Amino acid sequence: METFESVVRTEFAPGNTYLNTASSGLLPARSVEAMRTALEAAAAGRPTDMFADVEAARASFARLVGVPGERVAAGGSVAVYSGLIAASLPEGAEVLAAEGDFSSVVNPFHVRRDLKVRAVPLEALADSVRPGTALVAVSAAQSADGRVADLAALTAEARAHGARVFLDASQAAGWLGLDAGEFDYVAAVAFKWLMCPRGVAFLTVPADLGGLRPLFAGWVAGERPWDSCYGPVEQLALSARRFDESPALFSYVGARHSLRLVEELGPDAVRAHDLGLAERFRTGLRESGNEPLSAPGSPIVTVPGLGGRQPELARAGVEVSDRSGNLRAAFHLYNTATDVDRLLDVLAG
C-alpha cells in the first residue's frame, strides 16, 4: 500500500518552493495527463465524453463534503452562485457577513440595493445573528489571513433565529473536514486546495433546492439535457443540476482526477499534514521575532508588514502572496518541512 508521501511525490514535482495554494493549487500529474489526452483527442477530431467527467467530478465533490450528488450543482465561479442566492432573497432582507470577506462572497448581495447587508468582525458573527436576519454569508476560512469561522456556533445561532447559512468553502474544501449538510448552501471554487484547473466550482443546496430559482438555466440544466437544446427547456432537472452552468469541459476532465486524489489521500490526512507545516512556520517566525496573525487551525499563515518582500522571495524561488502589505503563505500536501525552512531562511536574509 502506498504511503501518503509516496503518492504525493508521484503526483507533484514543483520546480520551486511553492507556498501559494491560497491563490492557486498545483495540478497533480494524473490531471495534467488526462487533460493532455483529452486535448489531443479533440484536436484529432476524436473527442471523448467529457460530460462523464463532469458527473464523476460532481460525485467526488459530493463524497468529500458529505452530501448526495443530487444536491451538487457544477459551475465555474462562486460569484455566480452568490448572485443566485442573492436573487432568491425578498426585498429588505438582512444579510449578515464578515468584515473584509472575499468579494465573490459578499458583493452580489451589495449589488442588490434593496437588501440590508450588515458586516461585523468574523469573531462576532455568530453572536450577531438576530431576529430578522435572513441569511449569513461567510467564508469557512478567510482568504486574507486564514482565520477559520466558528461554524458550529454560527449554525446553532442561525437555526435559533430562522436564518439560512451560505458558506464559501473555497479556502477550506480539501483540508478542512466539512459536512455540507449542516449548511443551506455551500459553494467552492476547486482550483485552490482541491487542486483542480480553473473553471471548476460547485454549489450544494438542500434537498428541497433551498428556494433558489434557476435564473441562468440553459440546456445543461434540463432533466434530459440532450433533449433540451432548442427552445424552452420543457423540464428542468429535478436535482441541483438545474443550477449547473455550461461546464468548462477540459477543466472538468482534470478536476475528476484531482478530486479523486484528495479522496484517496483523505482530507483528515491532508489536514494533519498541512497544519503541521503551518505550525512549524509559526514557530520559526516567533523565534525570529515575527508574530503572525492569529489563525489557529489554519494552513494559511499571514505575517504583518512582510508583504513587501514578496518580489524578493519570488526571485529566490519562493512563491507566496502579498495581501495588503502582509505576507501570506499557504501550506498544502505537496509541501515539506524543507519548504518551511527555506522560507524562514530567505526571510532571515
> According to the model, what pLDDT value does residue 133 have?
98
Could you tell me if 99 and 241 lie in one domain?
Answer: yes
> According to the model, what pLDDT value does residue 47 have?
87
- How many domains does the structure of the chain reveal? 2
The CATH number covering residue 144 comes to: 3.40.640.10
Could you tell me if 307 and 225 lie in one domain?
Answer: no
Could you tell me if 197 and 217 lie in one domain?
Answer: yes
How many Å apart are CA 67 and CA 77, to the nearest integer? 20
36 domain residue, yes or no: no
**Contact by Cβ (8 Å): 20, 330:** yes
Could you tell me if 158 and 293 lie in one domain?
Answer: no
**227: containing domain:** 43-264
C-alpha cell at 29: 500529474
What string of pLDDT tens digits covers the 349 residues of the chain?
A: 579 999 999 999 999 999 999 999 999 999 999 999 999 999 999 988 999 999 999 999 999 999 999 999 999 999 999 999 999 999 999 999 999 999 999 999 999 999 999 999 999 999 999 999 999 999 999 999 999 999 999 999 999 999 999 999 999 999 999 999 999 999 999 999 999 999 999 999 999 999 999 999 999 999 999 999 999 999 999 999 999 999 999 999 999 999 999 999 999 999 999 999 999 999 999 999 999 999 999 999 999 999 999 999 999 999 999 999 999 999 999 999 999 999 999 999 8
> According to the model, what pLDDT value does residue 1 have?
56
Domain boundary among 227, 248, 264: 264
13 domain residue, yes or no: yes
Domain boundary among 206, 233, 264: 264
249 domain residue, yes or no: yes
Domain boundary among 241, 264, 287: 264
> According to the model, what pLDDT value does residue 2 have?
77
Among residues 21, 7, 3, the alpha carbon closest in space to that of 339 is found at 21
pTM of the model: 0.96
35 domain residue, yes or no: no
Could you tell me if 239 and 317 lie in one domain?
Answer: no
Cα angle at 191 between 190 and 197, to 5 degrees?
A: 105
216 domain residue, yes or no: yes
Collect all residues with Cβ–Cβ distance below 8 Å to 49 and sequence separation of at least 6: none
The CATH number covering residue 9 comes to: 3.90.1150.10
129 domain residue, yes or no: yes
Could you tell me if 287 and 237 lie in one domain?
Answer: no
